[in-house]
């Protein structure tokens, strides 16, 4: 792993990529991988992930851009970590609704078929788990 900014700058010169591309490929792709798992985690863990994202933003913008971290995220068109997680969840549920998600995801959710007023909306529910091991793994 790259340990200093001089090594990073050398790496960007040798590979012919920008610092933004390097940060996205090394840092943000790792934090985005399976970030839906982070849904419901405590705020301490989310703050740590947010600090990593803020540091990547400061590295990309370097000292030229002065301002808050929120402003730097807006400049880079990045969502904060908590919003990225929610966005990923909403994106997957949209794909499930439009049948564009993988089969293992579309089979996991069932459409609400109750004869109530809320059934007019497209609501989904997760089927009940039958095994004891599955009940221990997931909170239902």
| Tens digits of pLDDT across the chain (140 residues) | 555 566 666 666 666 677 677 777 777 777 777 787 888 888 998 999 899 888 888 877 776 655 777 787 888 888 898 999 899 888 988 898 888 888 888 888 777 666 566 555 667 776 666 666 655 655 54
Helix axes 81-97 and 43-61, enclosed angle (nearest 10): 100
pTM score above 0.95: no
Helix axes 43-61 and 69-76, enclosed angle (nearest 10): 70
Tokens representing 66 are 């002065």
For the segment 27-39, what is each residue's pLDDT rounded down to a tens digit? 777 777 778 788 8
Tokens representing 65 are 């851009």
Q: State the chain's mean pLDDT as an integer.
A: 75
């Amino acid at each position: 792993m790259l340990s200093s900014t001089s090594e990073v700058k050398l790496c960007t010169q040798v590979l012919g990529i920008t610092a933004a591309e390097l940060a996205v490929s090394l840092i943000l792709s790792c934090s985005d991988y399976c970030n839906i798992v982070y849904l419901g985690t405590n705020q301490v863990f989310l703050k740590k992930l947010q600090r990593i994202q803020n540091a990547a933003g400061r590295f990309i913008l370097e000292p030229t851009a002065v301002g808050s971290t929120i402003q730097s995220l807006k400049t880079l068109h990045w969502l904060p970590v908590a919003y990225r997680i929610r966005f990923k969840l909403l994106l997957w549920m949209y794909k499930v609704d439009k049948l564009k998600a993988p089969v293992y995801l579309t089979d996991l959710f069932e459409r609400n078929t109750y004869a109530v007023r809320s059934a007019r909306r497209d609501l989904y529910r997760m089927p009940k788990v039958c095994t004891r091991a599955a009940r221990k793994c997931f909170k239902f």
